[in-house]
Amino acid sequence: MSHESPHAKLIYMANQIAKFMESKPHAEGVALLASHINDFWEPRMRRHLFEVIDAGGEGLRPLVLQAAEKIKRPVSA
């Protein structure tokens, strides 16, 4: 299966990370999810993620949304 749009793929990836972090104590999970995305996602990917979040975050697991404010918004390059 190929993910058609870049958004669908990023939603999928963010949710995958969330599923791992969900087995941790909540606050830790939120913090680690955010730092994982900050550490490994290039600004373009984070920008797309914020497009999804800003549009209501449809399809994202709650933990991703809860971590959103800790995820760095990319400065436009």
Q: Which residues bind other proteins (CB under 8 A)?
A: 1-3, 6, 9, 13, 16-17, 19-20, 22-24, 36, 38-45, 74, 77
CB of 50 to other proteins, least distance (A): 14
CB of 69 to other proteins, least distance (A): 19
Nearer to other proteins, 40 or 54 (CB): 40
CB burial of 16-27 (b: ≥16 within 10 Å; e: otherwise) equals: ebbeebeeeeee
Any idea what DSSP says for residue 58? T
Tell me which residue of 36, 1, 31, 2 sits closest to 16, measured CA to CA. Answer: 36
Taking the CA of residue 6 as centre, how many other CA atoms within 13 Å lie in the half-sphere pointing to its CB? 9
Nearer to other proteins, 48 or 53 (CB): 48
Nearer to other proteins, 44 or 54 (CB): 44
